Amino acid sequence: MKKRTLLSTLFVCLVAGGFAAHAATITFYYTTLGSPDVFSNTYSTITGLGSPVGIGSTLQGADGIEDGPVVGGLRTLFFTGETDQTVFQIPVTGGSLVSSGNAGITAYLLTANPSDTTLYTFNNAGQVSTLTVTGAGLIAGAGTVHNVTGSDTNVSRITWGSNPAGPVYYITGGPGLNGDLGTIDPTTFITTRLDTNIATAEDAHYDPYTGLIVLFGQGQINTLNPTTGLLGTAISVPGGTCTGTLTTGDLDGLGHALITDCGTLSYIDFSATHNILTGAVTTIPGVFGGKDIEIFQSSTQSTPEPSTMGFALGGLALVAFRRFRRA
């Protein structure tokens, strides 16, 4: 009986340990106003925030940032120059710009289509520019300007859901401002409004871990179901709401997110709850001066998911039980 009790205790401990919160390290990239103005950094749930490394510079500061393709064996980033009409591309390791293109409009936030063949940039004032990305992964040249028509014209970002052929959603919010939400045709640029005057309309990213689009704005986050178009219930993140400051964030596709708001960087672990609105929020110490954040899934390192670890350890415990019974 003592051996059975010992094995039972071992089984419970192994399964419980498997479902506990797990360590994660995220490599992320962000833009700032200074020079250099594109940085890389890491955040570890064990050791905390790393040291920033400058990898790119513009003449006037940078704004939007988007993951780019592999060029010459190196992963690249696209980013926009603050208040100008240029989109830049640079290796994540830093160095010379691989390519740059004139967006045709004042370029703020950036979005790439699911196939990474087209970049979209927005002036939040009635125009969207598209820039072609070649098969070699480089910006092909200057952007083509498109006028937005329909329910809303001041589009500030668009994002796809899990289905590349499904609805494409837009938001219209600016720094510290409510905005509208709706669908947009990415070829005709006609918009159809679904909701209005929402706080989380400043930034938006699709999350493959949950199959939802996550919205960021004014110190809050929310989720959008890309199939039904329904919003969740927004929650606040540490930092508060700052006048003229953009709340942005990104996700690693493994149940973790980073959010910057009012000079505060926050980390959310929702790998166990499978819902970012009920995840554990950690405020990262120090002042964070980033504007827009980008995370590559390929540059994210994490231990197995809690459920995976739990099943694996539980399986080992069951094997031990079976061997004990046979003995």
Residue 12: pLDDT above 50? no
Q: What does the pLDDT average to over 82-89?
A: 89
pLDDT digits (tens, 9 = 90+) for 285-323: 998 989 999 999 754 444 444 444 444 444 444 444 444
The pLDDT assigned to 46 comes to: 96
pLDDT value at 269 more than 70: yes
What digits encode the pLDDT tens for the residues 231-245?
999 999 887 777 777
- Strand residues in 8-114 grouped as ranges (E): 24-31, 38-44, 48-49, 53-56, 62-71, 74-81, 86-91, 99-102, 110-112
Mean pLDDT over 82-108 rounds to 90
DSSP-assigned letter for residue 276: G
The string of pLDDT tens digits covering residues 35-44 is 789 999 999 9
| Average pLDDT, integer, range 3-12 | 42
Q: Tell me which residue of 120, 115, 142 sits closest to 130, measured CA to CA.
A: 120
The neighbouring-strand residues paired with 247 are: none
pLDDT in tens, 138-178: 999 899 999 999 999 999 999 999 998 889 999 999 988 99
Mean pLDDT, rounded, of the chain: 85
Q: Find where tokens 């493994």 sit.
A: 254
2 or 124, greater pLDDT: 124
> What's the pLDDT at 8?
46
Q: How do 127-132 and 118-122 pair as beta strands?
A: antiparallel
Neighbours of 10 (CB within 10 A): 15
Percent of the chain predicted with pLDDT > 90: 68
- pLDDT band per the 50, 70, 90 thresholds, residue 14: very low
What does the alpha-carbon distance between residue 166 and residue 187 come to, in Å, rounded to a whole number?
Answer: 13
Q: What are phi and psi of 245, to 5 degrees?
A: -110, 130
Q: What was the pLDDT predicted at 21?
A: 56
pLDDT digits over 193-204, tens only? 999 999 999 999
pLDDT of residue 322: 45
Res 256 pLDDT > 50 = yes
Of 246 and 225, the structure prediction assigns the larger pLDDT to 225
Enumerate helices (H) and strands (E) in the chain, giving the number of each: 2, 26
